[in-house]
Amino acid sequence: MDAKDMGADLDRILVTEEQMHTRLREIAAQIDADVDNTADSPLLAVGVLRGAVMVMADLTRYIHTPLEMDWMAVSSYGNSTKSSGVVRILKDLDTEVAGRDVLVVEDVVDTGLTLDWLTKNLASRGARSVRIAAALRKPECLKVNVQVDYVGFDIPDEFVVGYGLDYQQRYRNLPFVGTLAPHVYGAE
Ligand code: IMP
């Protein structure tokens, strides 16, 4: 899917495909430099379904250090657009995290409540370390002081789609990050 397929539904592009990939290469190099190669087991990259599929696929391919991948699906109680911080695990990891260096890979940090809960949950299982990489962050929306170790781009407080992010399950397969025209939401 590309901008042409969006027609008038696309408002504007915030992060192009090229910008995202350039930044992910930089982040991968930082991760390679930060990984503790003396650890007993390889880095465990944990992607948060479904939005992190694209960033997980691209970021991990730029990382040279050996790693394993696993996935979690979580759902936040609350309304559909804002998370409440009360999180339910829909799909848990298949991997034992005790003693592992974990890299949580997320699409966007909005309030930060989901990641705050997730990092505490992984730490309580005995992870040796928990770091976070997020393609996007909305600094104006943060409600908790969650430390995001690797951030692709800080973006304004706007609802975005593409690069894994959806509106009503659509637009995840856009290669860039953009905003939607008001008529898509039923407003003018
Ligand atoms: P948080 O707990 O508020 O940080 O929620 C993060 C989750 O909300 C993300 O992983 C997304 O699934 C979703 N989300 C937050 N902002 C957006 C957006 O602008 N577009 C699409 N999904 C979003």
Q: What is the pLDDT of residues 10-33, one digit of tens each?
A: 999 999 999 999 999 999 999 999
- Per-residue pLDDT, 75: 86
Tell whether ligand 1 has an atom less than 6 A from the beta carbon of residue 148: no
Ligand 1 mean position to 77 CA, how many Å?
13
Confidence of residue 37 (pLDDT cuts 50, 70, 90): confident
How confident is the model over 127-174, as pLDDT tens digits?
A: 999 999 999 999 999 999 999 999 999 999 999 999 999 999 999 999
Q: Whose CA is nearest to atom 5 of ligand 1?
A: 110
Q: Whose CA is nearest to atom 9 of ligand 1?
A: 108
Would you state the structure tokens that stand for residue 52, as one six-digit string? 């992190």
Closest CA to 48 of 121, 153, 125, 144: 121
CB < 8 Å & 24+ apart, contacts of 93-99: 93/46, 94/70, 95/44, 95/68, 95/70, 97/44, 97/122, 97/125, 97/126, 97/127, 98/125, 98/126, 98/127, 99/40, 99/41, 99/126, 99/127, 99/128
Q: In whole angstroms, what is the distance from residue 133 CA to residue 27 CA?
A: 8
Tell whether ligand 1 has an atom less than 6 A from the beta carbon of residue 112: yes
CATH match for 17-157 among 3.40.50.300, 3.10.50.40, 3.40.50.2020, 3.30.420.40: 3.40.50.2020
What pTM, to 2 d.p., does this model score?
A: 0.94
Q: Is 2 a catalytic residue?
A: no
How confident is the model over 49-108, as pLDDT tens digits?
A: 999 999 999 999 999 999 999 999 998 766 656 667 788 999 999 999 999 999 999 999
Domain boundaries, the chain: 17-157
Instruction: Please say if the pLDDT value at position 188 is more than 70.
Output: no
Instruction: Check 101, 107, 110, 116 and give the catalytic one.
Output: 110
Ligand 1 mean position to 38 CA, how many Å?
35
Closest CA to 64 of 42, 96, 40, 39: 42
